Amino acid sequence: MEQVQIISVNPEELKNAIIQEVKNEFDALKLHLQPQQKTKYLTRLEVCELLKVSLVTLNTWNKNGKLKAFGIGGRVLYRQEDIENSIIKL
């Protein structure tokens, strides 16, 4: 633990210094505790329209592991973040 000596500081200055440090810590915490954005899922047709490809091509990319599909109740969905991350710079 760090020891601090306070010399010639009046109580008002000490109070303001403590308040400022607490505010700085809260601001730092707020940056780390921002609510995360909800994951957006796209259907196969939406992905095909977005990438301008056919369902066959999308299915091939899924089988080859280029894209990762998720399913629920017979529906095939893709995370929009995964689609955007799979596009590579040429």
pLDDT at residue 48, rounded to an integer: 95
Question: Is the Cα torsion angle 41, 44, 49, 53 positive or negative in sign?
Answer: positive
SS3 state at 37: coil
pLDDT at residue 88, rounded to an integer: 82
Model pLDDT for residues 10-34, shown as the tens digit of each residue: 888 888 889 999 999 988 888 777 7
pLDDT at residue 10, rounded to an integer: 83
pLDDT at residue 55, rounded to an integer: 95
Note the helical H segments in 1-90. 11-32, 44-51, 55-64, 80-86
Model pLDDT for residues 68-84, shown as the tens digit of each residue: 999 999 999 999 999 98
Mean pLDDT, the chain, whole residue set: 87
